[in-house]
Amino acid sequence: MTDPPKDSFPDISDILARKAEGRRKNARRTLGEKIAMMEALRERVEPLRRVREARQAKRRKPSE
C-alpha cells in the first residue's frame, strides 16, 4: 500500500495547539473552578438528557 499524498489532508496544527492550550488552562484552574465548570456543563446538557430519556421511555413502552 502506498501513503496518500500529504496535501490531501488539511492542516489541523492550529486546532491541536488550541486544544493543548485549553488543557493547560484547565490544569491551572482551582478545584472549585473545575467543579463549577462541570456543574455548568451539567446544566447545559440537562435538556438534552431529558429528551433522550423520554425518547428511550417511549421506545420501551409497549404500543397501545
Residue 44 resides in a domain: yes
Residue 55 resides in a domain: yes
Write out pLDDT tens, residues 1-12.
Answer: 566 666 688 999
Per-residue confidence (pLDDT) for residue 61, from 0 to 100: 79
Residue 11 resides in a domain: no
Q: What is the pTM of this model?
A: 0.60
Per-residue confidence (pLDDT) for residue 34, from 0 to 100: 97
Residue 22 resides in a domain: no
Contacts of 26 (CB under 8 A, 6+ apart): 34, 37
Count how many domains the chain has: 1
Residue 1 resides in a domain: no
CB 26 within 8 A of CB 34: yes
Residue 19 resides in a domain: no
Residue 5 resides in a domain: no
Per-residue confidence (pLDDT) for residue 54, from 0 to 100: 95
- What is the domain range of residue 52? 31-64
Residue 21 resides in a domain: no
- From residue 54, give the alpha-carbon distance in Å to each of 7, 19, 60, 61: 46, 34, 10, 10
